[in-house]
Amino acid sequence: MLKRSISDADVAGKRVLVRVDFNVPMQNGVITDDTRIHAALPTIRDLLDRGAAVILATHLGRPKGKPDPKYSVAPIAARLSELLDRRVETVSSVAGPDAESAAKQLESGQILLLENTRFEPGEETNDPALAAAFARLADIFVNDAFGAAHRTHASTVGVAGLLPSYAGLLLQREEAMLSRLLDNPERPFVAILGGAKVSDKLGVLAHLLRRVDALLLGGGMANTVLLARGHDIGSSLAEPDRVPDARSLVDKARERGVELLLPTDVVVARGLDAEAGAAVSVDEIPRDQSVFDIGPETIKRFCDQIGKAKTIFWNGPMGVFEQPAFAEGTMAVARCVAAARAFTVVGGGDSVAAIEASGIADAIGHISTGGGASLEFLEGRTLPGIAALPDA
Q: Which of the residues 45, 197, 252, 256 is marked catalytic?
A: 197
372 among known catalytic residues? yes
Q: Which of the residues 36, 173, 301, 335 is marked catalytic?
A: 36
The answer to whether 272 and 245 are in contact (CB under 8 A) is no
User: CB count, 10 Å around CB of 49?
Assistant: 10
Amino acid identity, residue 284? Answer: E
- For the CA atoms of 296, 343, 176, 51, the dihedral, rounded to the nearest 10 degrees, stands at 100
Q: Which of the residues 349, 370, 371, 385 is marked catalytic?
A: 349
Count Cα neighbours of 313 within 13 Å in the Cβ-side half-sphere: 29
Phi-psi region of 219 (alpha: psi -120 to 50; beta: other; left: phi over 0): left
- For the CA atoms of 159, 53, 4, 382, the dihedral, rounded to the nearest 10 degrees, stands at -40
Q: Which of the residues 65, 96, 365, 372 is marked catalytic?
A: 372
Amino acid identity, residue 131? Answer: A
How many helices (H) and strands (E) in the chain?
13, 17
Q: How far is Cα 326 from Cα 308, in angstroms, rounded to an integer?
A: 26
36 among known catalytic residues? yes
Q: Report, as residue numbers or ranges, the catalytic residues.
A: 36, 197, 349, 372
